[in-house]
Structure 1
Amino acid sequence: MKKSNKTICKKINKIIENTYNNRVMSTLDHFSSFYRIYECGYKDPILVSGVDGVGTKLRLAIDCKKYSVIGEDCFAMCANDVLCHGARPLFFLDYLACGKLDFTIVEKILQGIAISCKKTNTCLIGGETAEMPGIYKKYDYDIAGFCVGIVEKNHIVDGKKLIQEKDILIGLPSSGVHSNGFSIIRNIFSKEDFMNSFQEKPFYETLLIPTRIYHFPIHALLKEFLIHGLAHITGGGISDNLSRILPENLSAIVEKERIPIQPVFNYIQKKGNLSEHKMWNTFNMGVGMIIVCSFQEKYSILNQLHLLREKPFILGHIVKGNKKVFLK
């Protein structure tokens, strides 16, 4: 049964208004979103923005009718990028395109975003839904997210300026594959394969575990320690993402044997007969976020992470070089 536009807008309003705080000044009736920043308590505030999507993980989520995962992943991919510079997310917007609008599906996607926003005190301030039957198939969906955060200028985490020789690399575990490498995965596994049992549940459930949000452990560290660099491990794996934050005169040594590789990656490699190079340059391999810190503070930071019930691991260190990452 079709719902009127007013009914749909009312339901969407209810979802997103649950994430609002007293800095939000707009509603869905406005053509743009308003957010008051002068009350945020910063002396020299810098706005930090990020945009991302979910990639072809979308295809698997849609086929398996796990729509809330789409929203959770979209938010996590954007929020983790903003986090890499020490910023706290203020607000989030989404762009959702589809072939044929099904409000039941849209509601589940937005609920996934809203739940993630609420966890991190981020306002889902607005967005856009576009019905594009000439571009997308009837019930196909695509999504992009836009996150704006804030950080004090003298607290920006910038590895290019802060990372030093002998610094230590600490990894935080991923929740699984996150949102990268699904074009390869979908080429390897059939629809029947996705339904097969893996660790006592259908394989697709493991693949669709949402991307971890690292907001709380990282901000807990930032309150007590000078973090030299943060790298969100997404497409391109450790090498591509860690190299982005290195100064020109330094390189990183990553010891693969110190990384607790999750079974899902071994399963993907074996099934697809993929090389080590392909695996390590495509997937996160169990590392969702890398923290770069001084050698002197490594044990204090590890202890703090353990108190936060994290499972951190040292995976390498910084050496003189030319902005390369060496996987050993």
Structure 2
Amino acid sequence: MSQKPTSPSAATATSKAGKPAEKTARTGVSYADAGVDIDSGDATKQRIKHLARKTFNKNVLSEIGGFGGLFKLDLAKYPDPVLVSSADGVGTKLKVAFTLGVHHTVGADLVNHCVNDIAVQGADPLFFLDYLATGKIDPLVIEKIVTGIADACRANGCALIGGETAQMPGFYADGEYDLAGTIIGVVNRDRIITGSAIQAGDMLFGLPSTGLHTNGYSLARKLLFEVAGYNPDLYVTALKDKVGNALMQTHRSYLSVLRKLTAGGVVSGMAHITGGGITENFPRILPKGLCAQVEMNSWEIPPLFQHLQELGNVEQDEMMRTFNMGIGMIVVVPAEQVKKAKAILNRANERFHVIGRVAKGVRRVNYV
């Protein structure tokens, strides 16, 4: 009968045949044994630092890697500053990214969504923080994602000053991750746009979206992949595109054109059309006692939305409160400023549609 070691430090044991067993070295369980590769994480963070530094400006006072990012506010430019913040994610659009192996656009989706959310209040973006969580770090995938974030930050004049890259083995399936971000912007108090200036008779200018942006993907994926049985690489005549490409169009930033409109003094309110569509987003800026009359024939619904509706026989009301339907931003323009607003948009080479007006009534959107 073999002898059992009496303590963890025992180096040998006797086999059933009476011969000494091989010596075994006992080592402690490491973080890597639990699925977290610290070395890979550290290497990835070095790549991220390089990308983030490209977005820095003179107001960034810290390096990537500190416990917090430091940013100096320019009080000469903003003498009466009000900080504006927003946080969001990319949602189940990421599922399409996983399937296609396309990771460089979702970072831009995230930044542009957040930029638009604060731009409608007249704010300029200052800095951005990202949160990226995955089961196992793939340095090349992480680099593609952060490259998209950094490129979009630079395009919007925003510094990427920090964030978190988390390894959470067992929490995410292999090859999957989640992505979210927080943006901080600033606006002078007397330039804040809340919609309080909106009046009956104001006109609604709709600015085109680039596809679904980052909303409605759970329904879109069900209709395209389950109901229709499409695969992402299939070219669909009704879409005039491959399914995956149509779904992965980047959520655009409206910052540049909104700045031109606000500088021109032709804006009384703005609404970013995200989850909830026009139906639920536009009333958020309407004063009490006012409604929106939206004319459904005032713009052409893009093929993607038309095809989605046909595939599932989706009710019109459901479409309007799930998708942006081709309108990603609504700008409210006082009636007397319509001509000037059109001129500004034309000079900016920005397509637009006058999609309705503000009227007296219950605070909601009426489709006519």
Per the normalisation by structure 2, the TM-score is: 0.86
Task: Give yes or no for contact 2:266–2:340 (8 Å, CA) kept in 1.
Answer: no
Aligned to 1:65: 101
Counterpart selection for 2:197 from 162, 166, 169: 162
Counterpart selection for 2:124 from 67, 72, 88: 88
- Distance in 2 separating the partners of 1:115 and 1:39: 26
Q: How does 1:21-170 map to 2 (within 5 A)?
A: 21-39=57-75, 41-159=77-195, 161-170=196-205
- Distance in 2 separating the partners of 1:60 and 1:326: 33
- Distance in 2 separating the partners of 1:53 and 1:116: 15
Task: Give yes or no for contact 2:197–2:269 (8 Å, CA) kept in 1.
Answer: yes
Over aligned residues, Cα RMSD in angstroms?
Answer: 1.6
Higher mean displacement: 69-78 or 187-196 = 187-196
**TM superposition shift of 1:276:** 1.0
**TM superposition shift of 1:322:** 2.1
Counterpart selection for 2:274 from 215, 234, 237: 234
Structure 2 residue 259 is matched with structure 1 residue 219: yes
Structure 2 residue 229 is matched with structure 1 residue 194: no
**TM superposition shift of 1:303:** 1.5
**TM superposition shift of 1:6:** 4.7
- Distance in 2 separating the partners of 1:212 and 1:16: 21
- Distance in 1 separating the partners of 2:61 and 2:274: 34
Which stretches in structure 2 are left out of the alignment for 5+ residues? 1-37
Structure 2 residue 288 is matched with structure 1 residue 248: yes
Residues 258-298 of structure 1: CA distance to partner in whole angstroms, max 9, x if unpaired?
02211111111112221111111110000010000100111
- Distance in 2 separating the partners of 1:185 and 1:73: 17
Structure 2 residue 55 is matched with structure 1 residue 15: no
Residues 44-71 of structure 1: CA distance to partner in whole angstroms, max 9, x if unpaired?
0000001000110010111111101210
- Distance in 1 separating the partners of 2:194 and 2:155: 26
Larger Rg: 2
Counterpart selection for 1:297 from 333, 337, 342: 337
- Distance in 2 separating the partners of 1:149 and 1:128: 20
**TM superposition shift of 1:9:** 2.7
Residues 284-320 of structure 1: CA distance to partner in whole angstroms, max 9, x if unpaired?
0000100001001112101210110111110010111
- Distance in 2 separating the partners of 1:101 and 1:10: 13
* Partner SS state of residue 105, structure 2: helix
Structure 2 residue 216 is matched with structure 1 residue 177: no
* Partner SS state of residue 67, structure 1: coil
Number of residue equivalences: 327
* Partner SS state of residue 88, structure 2: strand
- Distance in 2 separating the partners of 1:63 and 1:196: 13
Task: Give yes or no for contact 2:65–2:162 (8 Å, CA) kept in 1.
Answer: no
Structure 2 residue 347 is matched with structure 1 residue 307: yes
**TM superposition shift of 1:8:** 2.6
Going from structure 1 to structure 2, the CA distance change for 1:229 and 1:94 (only over 3 Å counts) comes to same
Higher mean displacement: 129-138 or 148-157 = 129-138
* Partner SS state of residue 195, structure 1: coil
* Partner SS state of residue 61, structure 2: coil
- Distance in 1 separating the partners of 2:278 and 2:99: 29
Residue identity over aligned pairs, in percent, reads: 38
Per the normalisation by structure 1, the TM-score is: 0.96
Q: Residue type of the partner of 1:171?
A: G
- Distance in 1 separating the partners of 2:362 and 2:266: 24
Q: Residue type of the partner of 2:182?
A: F
Aligned to 1:203: 243
Aligned to 2:362: 322
* Partner SS state of residue 234, structure 1: coil
Higher mean displacement: 5-14 or 45-54 = 5-14
Where do 4+ consecutive residues of structure 1 move more than 4 Å? 2-6
Q: Residue type of the partner of 1:251?
A: C
Higher mean displacement: 269-278 or 246-255 = 269-278
Return the structure number with greater helix share.
1
* Partner SS state of residue 300, structure 1: helix
* Partner SS state of residue 366, structure 2: strand
Residues 199-241 of structure 1: CA distance to partner in whole angstroms, max 9, x if unpaired?
5542110110010100100001111114110000011110100
- Distance in 1 separating the partners of 2:303 and 2:76: 43
